[in-house]
Structure 1
Amino acid sequence: MGVLELSRVARHYLSAALLLPTASAVGQLCQRHLKLALITGFFVSGVLCGPSCLGFLTSDALRDLEFIEKVCLGLIGISAGSELRLKELGNVGKQILWLVLSICVATWVIVFSSTMVLLPKTTLASIVSSDKIPILSSIVATIMLARSPASAVAVLKELEAKGPFATVSLAVIIVKDVIVIVLFSLNLATARLSFHREEESAIITHALTTLFKINVAAALGVFGAFVQRKLFSMKIGGERSQRKIGCLYLVASAAFVFYTSELFGAEPLLACLVLGATKVNLEPNPTKKDFVSVLHDVMPTIYMAFFALAGASVHIDTLPHFFQPAFFVYSARLLSLYAGTKIGSKLGGSAEEHKEIGWMAYVTQAGIAMGLSKSVLLQFPEWAGPFFTFLVCIILMNQVTGPTMYKAALTALGETKV
C-alpha cells in the first residue's frame, strides 16, 4: 500500500470519526423531540452525510470503511448472543418455538403471495421472464423473515428493558435469523439452478456445503469464546487499564472470528452470536462478569458507528421509483407479523397482552437483510440492480419504523427502566 493510498484511507477514517458527534446529536434530537429510537437517529445522520446527500462520506470512503462495519457487526453479533441466557429461557422454550414457527410461516406465505401479484407490474417484468417471478418472490419472502438483532439489542440497552417479553422477543429474533440464513442459501441455490442452468447435483452439493458451513461458524464461535477466556483471565495493570485492555481484546476477537468465518466461507454473524452465547452460558463467573462489563462499555459507540455507516450506504436517489410497490410489501409484512405473532402467542401460551402488541418487536430490519440483498446483487448483477433497490426500499421502511414500534411495545408492557 503506497503513501498516497495510506493517506486516503487515513482521511476516510478521520471523516468517519468526525461523523460520530453528528450521529450522536441527531440521535439525541430524534429521541427527545421526535420520540424515535436512538438508532433511527444514527441511521438518518448517516443518510444525510452519505454520497446521496451531502457527500461528507464518499463511495470510496465507504469501501475503505468496510473493515469498521464488519468489526461493528461482529461485536453486535456477540452482544446479541450474550442476551441468550439459557437458564432464563428454560421456562419459555415453548413460546419461542411456536412464535418462530408461526411468524416464519405467516410471513413467508403472505409476503410471497403479495410479491407474486406485485412483481409482474414493476420494471422487473421487462428484465426477467414470468417463470422466474416465483423464484424472486421466494427470495423476497425469505429476506422479509430476517430481523435485526443489532437493532433489538440497541433498543433493549437504550431502555434498560428487562422482563418476559424482552427475553422471549430477543430469543425469537436470534433464532429466526439463523433459520433465515439457511433458507436464503437454499433460495440462492435454486435461483442459480434457474438462471445459470446449474446441474441439480451442484445444487445438492451447495445445500450440504451450507449446512457444513453453519457447523464451522458454530465451532469458530466456541473457539473465540475459549480464547477470550484466556485473555480476560490475564490481569495487567490497575482496574482502569484492565478495562481498556478488555475493550481491545473484545474488538480483536470480534475481528478475528468475523474474518476467519469469511475466510472459511461460513456465516460470520452466526459465529459471533455463538461466541456471545457461549461466554454468558459456559463461562466462569469472574471472567463472565468482566466480559459483560466491557461489552456494556463499548457497545454504545459500536451502535452509533454501525447504523451511521449503514445509513450512509443508502442511495436514496433511486428509492422513489420503488416506493409504492415497496410500501405494499411492507404493509403485507406487518399484517403477516401480526397474524403470526397472535397465533404463535396463543399456541405457546404467552401472556394475553403479548398477543396484540407482540408483533411490534419483529418489524425492524437492518444489517442481515441488507447483506442478504447484496448477496443477490453480487450473484446476478445482470438483472438484480432494480431488484436490490426494491428490497432496500422495504428494508428502510422496516428500519425507520421498527425500533419505535419495539420501544412502544416494551413501554406498554412495563418492561423499561427509562
Structure 2
Amino acid sequence: MDSAGVAGMARSYLAAALLLPTASAVGQLCRRHLKLALITGFFLSGVLCGPSCLGFLTDGALRDLAFVEKVCLGLIGISAGSELQLKELRNVGNQIFSLVLSICVATWVIVFASAMVLLPKTTLMGTVSEDKLPVLASIAATIMLARSPASAVAVLKELEAKGPFATVSLAVIIVKDVLVIVLFSINLGIARLSFHREDDNVVLGAIETLFKINVAAALGVFGAFAQRTVFQVKISGERPRAYLRAASLIVCAAFVFHVSEILGAEPLLGCLILGATKVNLEPNPTRQDFVQALHGLMPTTYLSFFALAGASVHVDTLPHFFQPAFFVYSARLLSLYVGTKVGCKLGNSSANHREIGWMAYVTQAGIAMGLSKSVLLQFPEWAGPFYTFLVCVILMNQITGPTMYKAALTALGEVAAK
C-alpha cells in the first residue's frame, strides 16, 4: 500500500473514532427520551453520518473499515455462543424443543412465502434475475428467525423479571439463535453456488457446503482451546490482566473470522462455536474470566458495529422498501403467534403463555443485523438493496419488540414489585 493509501486509511479510522462518541450520545438520548434500545440510536447515528446523508463516512471509508466490522461480527458470534449454556437448558428441554421447532417452521414458511410475493415488487429485481428469488427469500426467512439474546437479557434485568416464562423464553431465544446461524451458513453456501458457480454439480456443492460447516466448527474449537493459554497467564495487576484477555478475544475473533473467509467457511458459525465451547467445556475459573472479558468488550463492539452498519444503509432507497418491509414484519408477527401457540400446546405450557408468549420473540438486533451485513459483504455487487430491505424489517422488530416483551412479562406477573 502506498503512502496515499495509508493516509486514506488513517483518515477513515479517525473518522470512525470521532463517530463513536456521537453515536454513544445519540443512543443514550434515544433510550432516555424515546424509550428505544441503545443500539437503535447507534444505528441511526451511523445512518446520519453515512455516505447517503452527511457524508462524514464515505464509501471509501466504509471499505477501509470492513475489517473492523468483521471483528465486531466475530465478537457478536462469540457472545451468542457464550449464551448456550447446556446445563441451564436441560431443565426445560421439552418446552424449549417444542417452541424452537414450531416457531422456526412457522416463521420460515410464512416469511418465505411473503418474500416470494413482495421482493419482485422492489428495485432488487433490477440487479438479480428472477430465478434467484427463492434463494433470496430463503435467506430473508432464515434471518427473520433470529432474535436477540442481549436485548432479552437487558429487558429481564431492567424489570428484575423472574419466573417460568422468563426462563423458558430466554432459553428459546438462545437456542433459536444458535440454530439460525447454522441454517444461515447452509443458505449462504447455497447462495454462493447459485450466484458464483451456476454450472457446478449441485450434489458436490452441497457436500462442499457441509464440509465448510465442519471447517468453521473446527476453527471455533481450535480458537477456544488456543485462548486457554492466554487466560492462564499470570500477570500482576487487575487492569493489565483485563487488557490482555480483551486483546486475546479480539485477536481470536479476527483470526477465526479471517481464516474462515479464506477457506470459504461461515465465519459467524466458527465464532459461535468458539463461544459455546468456552462456556461448556472450560473449567469454571477460566470460564468466568472468559465471560467477564467478553461482557467488558460487548458495549464497544455493539457501538462500533451498529454505527458502521447504519452508515452502510442507502437512505434514498428506504422509502421504496418500507411497504414490503412492513408486510414482511406483519407476516413475521403472525408466524410468531402461530408458532408459539402450537409450540406451547406441544410442550404443555400454560394457557396464558399460548396467547401472549409470542411477544417475547419479536425483537431483533445484533445477530439479525450481523447476518444481513454478512450477505452484503459476501455479495456487494447486488446485495445493497436487499440489505436495505432486511434492515427495514429488523428496525421495525427492534423498535417494537422490547415493549412487547415487557408487556408479556408484566401480564404474566413475572416483574419484580417496586
Q: 1:417: Cα distance to partner?
A: 11
Deviations 1:377-413 (Å, cap 9, x if unpaired)?
A: 44x74xx665554444333433443455445555666
Cα 1:321–1:143 shift into 2, 3 Å: same
8 Å contact kept, 1:225–1:279? yes
Q: 1:230: Cα distance to partner?
A: 0.8
Q: Which amino acid aligns with 1:310?
A: A
1:180 counterpart residue number? 183
Q: 1:50: Cα distance to partner?
A: 1.4
8 Å contact kept, 1:96–1:171? no
Cα 1:122–1:10 shift into 2, 3 Å: closer
CA–CA distance in structure 1, aligned partners of residues 72 and 59 of structure 2:
19
Cα 1:210–1:102 shift into 2, 3 Å: same
Question: For 2:234, what is the secondary structure of its paired residue?
Answer: coil
Percent of matched pairs sharing the same residue: 67
In structure 1, runs of 5+ residues without a counterpart are none
Q: 1:115: Cα distance to partner?
A: 3.2
CA–CA distance in structure 1, aligned partners of residues 3 and 131 of structure 2:
52
Question: For 1:145, what is the secondary structure of its paired residue?
Answer: coil
2:294 counterpart residue number? 295
1:329 counterpart residue number? 328
1:310 counterpart residue number? 309
Deviations 1:59-100 (Å, cap 9, x if unpaired)?
A: 111111111111111111111111111110111222222222
8 Å contact kept, 1:70–1:255? yes
Counterparts of residues 364-379 of structure 1 (less than 5 Å): 364=364, 366-371=368-373, 373-374=375-376, 377-378=379-380
Counterparts of residues 150-189 of structure 1 (less than 5 Å): 163-165=166-168, 167-185=170-188, 187-188=190-191
8 Å contact kept, 2:372–2:387? no
In structure 2, runs of 5+ residues without a counterpart are none
8 Å contact kept, 2:369–2:394? no
1:280 counterpart residue number? 279
Q: 1:106: Cα distance to partner?
A: 0.9
CA–CA distance in structure 2, aligned partners of residues 227 and 306 of structure 1:
25
8 Å contact kept, 2:74–2:268? yes
Q: 1:224: Cα distance to partner?
A: 0.9
CA–CA distance in structure 1, aligned partners of residues 146 and 343 of structure 2:
17
1:27 counterpart residue number? 27
Question: For 1:230, what is the secondary structure of its paired residue?
Answer: helix
8 Å contact kept, 1:377–1:388? no
Cα 1:122–1:30 shift into 2, 3 Å: closer
Question: For 1:306, what is the secondary structure of its paired residue?
Answer: helix
Q: Which amino acid aligns with 1:164?
A: T
8 Å contact kept, 1:36–1:404? no
1:79 aligns with 2:82: no
Q: 1:3: Cα distance to partner?
A: 2.2
8 Å contact kept, 1:213–1:267? yes
Counterparts of residues 208-227 of structure 1 (less than 5 Å): 208-227=207-226
2:65 counterpart residue number? 65
8 Å contact kept, 1:166–1:415? no
Counterparts of residues 10-409 of structure 1 (less than 5 Å): 10-122=10-122, 134=134, 136-148=136-148, 163-165=166-168, 167-185=170-188, 187-188=190-191, 191-192=194-195, 198-199=199-200, 202-363=201-362, 364=364, 366-371=368-373, 373-374=375-376, 377-378=379-380, 381=382, 386-406=385-405, 409=408
Q: Which amino acid aligns with 2:276?
A: A
Question: For 1:54, what is the secondary structure of its paired residue?
Answer: coil
Cα 1:189–1:253 shift into 2, 3 Å: closer
Q: 1:176: Cα distance to partner?
A: 2.9
CA–CA distance in structure 1, aligned partners of residues 267 and 416 of structure 2:
31
8 Å contact kept, 1:79–1:295? yes
CA–CA distance in structure 1, aligned partners of residues 302 and 213 of structure 2:
26
CA–CA distance in structure 1, aligned partners of residues 378 and 402 of structure 2:
26
1:9 counterpart residue number? 9
Question: For 1:248, what is the secondary structure of its paired residue?
Answer: helix
CA–CA distance in structure 1, aligned partners of residues 79 and 122 of structure 2:
39
TM-score, normalization by structure 2 = 0.86
Aligned residues: 411
8 Å contact kept, 2:145–2:176? no
Deviations 1:300-344 (Å, cap 9, x if unpaired)?
A: 111111111111111111111122122112211111112112211
CA–CA distance in structure 2, aligned partners of residues 11 and 129 of structure 1:
38
Q: Which amino acid aligns with 1:91?
A: N
Q: Which amino acid aligns with 1:13?
A: Y
What's the Cα RMSD here?
3.1
CA–CA distance in structure 2, aligned partners of residues 240 and 131 of structure 1:
56
CA–CA distance in structure 2, aligned partners of residues 304 and 374 of structure 1:
19
